[in-house]
Amino acid sequence: MKRIYLDHSATTPVDPQVAELMMKYFVDYYGNPSSVHYYGREVRKALDEARTQVATLIGANPAEIAFTSGGTEADNLAIQGAAKAKLKKGNHLITSAIEHHAVLDTCKHLGKNGYELTILPVDEEGIISVDELKKAIRPETILVSIMHANNEVGSIQPIEEIGKITKQQDILFHVDAVQSLGKCSIDVKAMNIDLLTISSHKIYGPKGVGALYIRKGVRVSPLMFGGAQERKIRSGTENAPGIIGFGKACELAGQRMESERAHLTSLRDKLIDGIMSKIDNVKLNGPSGSKRLVNNVNVSINFIEGESLLLSLDMIGVAASSGSACTSGSLDPSHVLLAMGLSHEVAHGSLRLSLGMQNTDEDIDYVLEELPKIVDRLRAMSPLYTKTSC
Amino acid sequence: MKRIYLDHSATTPVDPQVAELMMKYFVDYYGNPSSVHYYGREVRKALDEARTQVATLIGANPAEIAFTSGGTEADNLAIQGAAKAKLKKGNHLITSAIEHHAVLDTCKHLGKNGYELTILPVDEEGIISVDELKKAIRPETILVSIMHANNEVGSIQPIEEIGKITKQQDILFHVDAVQSLGKCSIDVKAMNIDLLTISSHKIYGPKGVGALYIRKGVRVSPLMFGGAQERKIRSGTENAPGIIGFGKACELAGQRMESERAHLTSLRDKLIDGIMSKIDNVKLNGPSGSKRLVNNVNVSINFIEGESLLLSLDMIGVAASSGSACTSGSLDPSHVLLAMGLSHEVAHGSLRLSLGMQNTDEDIDYVLEELPKIVDRLRAMSPLYTKTSC
Amino acid sequence: MYSDKVIDHFTNPRNVGEIEGANGVGQVGNAKCGDIMRISLVVEEDIIKDIKFKTFGCGAAVATSSMVTEMVKGKTLEEALKVTNSTVAEALGGLPETKLHCSNLAADAVHDAIKNYLEKTKV
Amino acid sequence: MYSDKVIDHFTNPRNVGEIEGANGVGQVGNAKCGDIMRISLVVEEDIIKDIKFKTFGCGAAVATSSMVTEMVKGKTLEEALKVTNSTVAEALGGLPETKLHCSNLAADAVHDAIKNYLEKTKV
Ligand SMILES: Cc1ncc(COP(=O)(O)O)c(C=O)c1O
Ligand SMILES: Cc1ncc(COP(=O)(O)O)c(C=O)c1O
């Protein structure tokens, strides 16, 4: 069976060039980078190069990058670490209702443990209001954490505008850029970002590696104690092959960004237009055009439930995801879709198709051919659907 | 140049079988294990198998394993997590002076943040006294953290005895078994261990992966919040290839344990005997015989400094490590050697040679041939050495 | 995640639809929680002669609905009332832990339809 | 980590040893901190005619000791006193950050030996 992977926002395959490079550091240059000897030194050099590759993609200095075990750890390190380090100054945090759980749940945890938390709402396109953010700022506000691009609906937040405000008011600004890395250009200096989370496995690098950009002069308390690696910010033997792979993936992402943006945008718009015209009772979730992440398609298909849609797609070789409760791991459907004002029913029927480098026009044609049949079949089974409902 | 790697306690090469298996999960089965579709399901199955492989090696149930980004994170999760979860019961922690920094520094951090800490001394062989441990226990003691085998001097602690005491007194018992895994048999049930740290890159698995065994019924608070992976104990997209590689490494380690123990013990004793007989003014650090880790050799070579010894060895292709301040990343030499009563001078001249699977009798012969020459050369340069000093 | 039987029943669900002249109709769940199952059946002389379902829900919800219709079709009402959500899950070769509660209500829907039949015929 | 020059001086240190009839001897550091450098020199008519070192310490300590002996040999005392720890580090093509303080004391040892010579000759 031909398989079409349309779940790149969940994770990506490792680029063969990246995998090959890592292999070298598994079996040949396997030393501990802290070691004095040959095996350690060779790895140390490669680590330094990776740090530069990562820094370059986001406009940072290599010394401002702390490698972590992934986006989740970087988000936690940024938020827990900054909150702790800044507690003398204040205890108020601001975030948005559509953040990834790694941000939202960390903020909520702090909100129950001595900090005050404001969760900003979003509009129906999944975008926060800068005015509301301004109003939420208090003298004791120490951190604003707003994601760059949303992982479910692809909405892009007004990061530059927020950065100007936080800079002016001397508040730390953390941005989760896990989804935008390699797809939107990021310049931490120009955007006035103090802390930026990125993750390797969303840009064709290995899983289990991420990084936190920490602007020079900004202090975050560590989550973990130990061998004092990463300038004490992140102890633990460095995952050298993983970091080196991430570095390479960043380099490739930088080289490919422009052409990939064009490629993905064209596939995205073809897919959205096709779905909207071929299936009735469908709603596009998230903005369209330039406010939408280039590789994100998210639609609610009324009267059917997301997981059964995914299973049906899987049976014809198409891998996708959904914000239905049955796939969210909780009893409620996606908190992002609910925050955008969707009813539970409509949120249950959401389908995310996230595009990647390997996808082709033919892939989209195939999906546009098959998806309507699946929808028909599931709707015929649904007690909520009657032919007249359109 | 022939290269001989004698730094297996710092890290090991990845077994080619493990690397090959991981490759499959980088480029073919790359899905997110939380996904409903084919790519996710295939990975989920392999993760389940890895969990079983890891659990089997330590006598645990698969559901008692939480994967982490390494030994450091597992130590932090165990100690910070248990301390937090048990705070209602008490606030006293007990550890030893020779723990890895991932344990010791975490305990010290807690000691400055509302907890009471007892650090047990060790004898000149680097072993704690069970009697002193008993005396240190108070009604408010909630956690005892003692490593299985020490990473520098290879001393093996009386874990079974400690486990009986902590069990009887209803105190949590955490064991850092990073160095003993695959070299000593471990049975968490028989040893009455509640929390056990292990790390993949010390047993021919990939870096950046570890696990914490958490006995059924024991609660630890998470360090990180997010997607609720690993039963909410450790959020973050699973490092699937890494975990799968770790699983395979555990399986292989189990199969090889008996023969490796014999192989390593024989090389170790040959190396120790050779050094002691060929070089004057040398001291073996740590115990000998069965109380010593099978792959550890640690000697202090008087009148010379560790880093220059390592550099000299590196130049003839031998990779080793030292507890000298110049390699410890701090201004003091190894806290382990100091805790065993060594003077700073003698600690600076320590040399650790840690053996592995690939080492041969010829490797040892070569080291025994070359090391005395290097020592002579460095001593000739040393203001501390006079020919009469022996 | 799902057993082969679940996948089979999801892919080729038995007895989908609504019976025009049903003398018993039952429904459980609601769209908010993500699962709705509607059962219509024809009872003749205490025996379920015909049964059909419509389901909005995940794979487990569809498969249990399909399975329960097979299990009770041709059975007496008394026998059908003995079929529970867990016997349905068993018949499917088990369900994932997370699906055991919210998506496993098909037997309840059948019981609801039988109750509806009994209430109707009482009158 | 170390520059090629450091490695060269570590591998082939110049002027190792102790001069029997030295008229100036200096020593800095202590074994506790892990670095000791001892310099012995022969001064004739204000010029360093001969110089040797003995060093207990890391690669940087050995290399800086070796380098400093080369830098001051044949120089006047005044010139030698202008050689500092940082000019030695520079001459070696730089040292790792962590080595800049504790292991970079060779010039101090030379200065100490010159002081010793000057004190002796004053008497
Ligand atoms: C926006 C966003 N933030 C954070 C994460 C977490 O990153 P990781 O999977 O590397 O832990 C993800 C992906 O899972 C994400 O999409
Ligand atoms: C005894 C011991 N504990 C913990 C660790 C830390 O493990 P990791 O390197 O996987 O973070 C190590 C090794 O570095 C170790 O030897």
Cα–Cα dist B235/B222, whole Å: 8
Phi, psi of A69 (to 5 degrees): -85, 5
Cα–Cα dist B99/B194, whole Å: 18
Residue D53 has a pLDDT of 96
Residue A324 has a pLDDT of 80
Which ligand 2 atom lies nearest to the CA of residue B72?
A: 11
In chain B, % of residues over pLDDT 90: 88
CATH of the domain at A97: 3.40.640.10
- Chain B / chain C CB contacts < 8 angstroms: 3
Q: Which chains lie within 8 Å of chain D at 3 or more CB pairs, if any?
A: A, B
Question: Contact B197/B176 with Cβ under 8 angstroms?
Answer: yes
ipTM over the 0.90 cut-off: yes
* Domain range enclosing A314: 4-11+257-389
- The preferred substitution site among B12, B54, B67, B72 for testing ligand 2, maximizing ligand atoms within 8 Å of CB, is B72
Q: Which domains does chain C have, with CATH numbers?
A: 4-120 (3.90.1010.10)
Question: What predicted TM-score, i.e. pTM, was given to this entire model?
Answer: 0.94
Over residues B152-179, mean pLDDT: 97
Kindly list the protein residues whose Cβ atom lies closer than 6 A to any atom of ligand 2: A 236-237; B 70-72, 75, 100, 102, 147, 151, 176, 178-179, 199, 201, 210
| 3-state SS record for chain B | CCCEECECCCCCCCCHHHHHHHHHHHHCCCCCCCCCCHHHHHHHHHHHHHHHHHHHHHCCCHHHEEEECCHHHHHHHHHHHHHHHCCCCCCEEEEECCCCHHHHHHHHHHHCCCCEEEEECCCCCCCCCHHHHHHHCCCCEEEEECCCECCCCCEECCHHHHHHHHHHCCCEEEEECCCCECCECCCCCCCCCCEEEEEHHHCCCCCCCEEEEECCCCCCCCCCCCCCCHHHCCCCCCCHHHHHHHHHHHHHHHHHHHHHHHHHHHHHHHHHHHHHHHCCCEEECCCCHHHECCCEEEEEECCCCHHHHHHHHHHCCEECECCCHHHHCCCCCCHHHHHCCCCHHHHHCEEEEECCCCCCHHHHHHHHHHHHHHHHHHHHHCCCCCHHHC
Sheet holding B172-176, edge to edge: B65-68, B210-214, B195-199, B172-176, B141-145, B92-96, B116-120
A30 and A130 both lie in a single domain: yes
B199 and B180 both lie in a single domain: yes
Sequence-ordered list of residues with C-beta below 8 angstroms from that of C23, at least 6 positions apart, any chain: C41, C42, C43, C117, C120, C121
Boundary-marking domain end, from A231, A252, A273: A252
B227 and B280 both lie in a single domain: no
A265 and A239 both lie in a single domain: no
- Chain B / chain D CB contacts < 8 angstroms: 67
Contact B38 A105 (CB under 8 A): no
pLDDT-flagged residues of chain D (< 50): none
Boundary-marking domain end, from A252, A283, A299: A252
A66 and A192 both lie in a single domain: yes
A325 and A221 both lie in a single domain: no
Number of domains into which chain A is organized: 2
Query: Which contiguous run of DSSP H or E holds residue C119?
Result: helix C106-122
Q: In this predicted model, what pLDDT tens digit does every residue of A323-368 receive, in sequence order? A: 887 776 666 889 999 999 999 889 999 999 999 999 999 999 999 9
Q: Which chains lie within 8 Å of chain A at 3 or more CB pairs, if any?
A: B, C, D
- Amino acid at position A17, single letter: Q
Residue A389 has a pLDDT of 44
A230 and A278 both lie in a single domain: no
Q: In this predicted model, what pLDDT tens digit does every residue of B193-235 receive, in sequence order? A: 999 999 999 999 999 999 999 999 999 999 999 888 888 899 9
Over residues B36-56, mean pLDDT: 93
Question: Contact C30/C36 with Cβ under 8 angstroms?
Answer: yes
Residue A390 has a pLDDT of 41
Is D58 a residue of the active site? no
B36 to chain C: nearest residue by CA?
C1
Contact A383 C37 (CB under 8 A): yes
B271 and B381 both lie in a single domain: yes
Which ligand 2 atom lies nearest to the CA of residue B70?
A: 10
DSSP for C39-57 reads EEEEEETTEEEEEEEEEES
Phi, psi of A168 (to 5 degrees): -60, -40
Boundary-marking domain end, from B221, B252, B283: B252
Q: Which pair of structure tokens corresponds to residue D99?
A: 């080595």
CATH of the domain at B362: 3.90.1150.10
List chain C residues with CB under 8 Å of A304: 56
In chain A, % of residues over pLDDT 90: 88
A181 and A303 both lie in a single domain: no
Cα–Cα dist B288/A366, whole Å: 69
Query: Which contiguous run of DSSP H or E holds residue D112?
Result: helix D106-122
Residue B329 has a pLDDT of 64
B222 and B307 both lie in a single domain: no
If you measure from the C-alpha of residue B178 to the centroid of ligand 2, how many angstroms do you get, rounded to a whole number?
6
Return the DSSP state at A232.
Answer: G
Q: Which pair of structure tokens corresponds to residue C39?
A: 């059962």
Task: Please indicate whether chains D and C are in contact, defined as at least 3 beta carbon pairs under 8 Å.
Answer: no
A301 and A227 both lie in a single domain: no
B242 and B302 both lie in a single domain: no
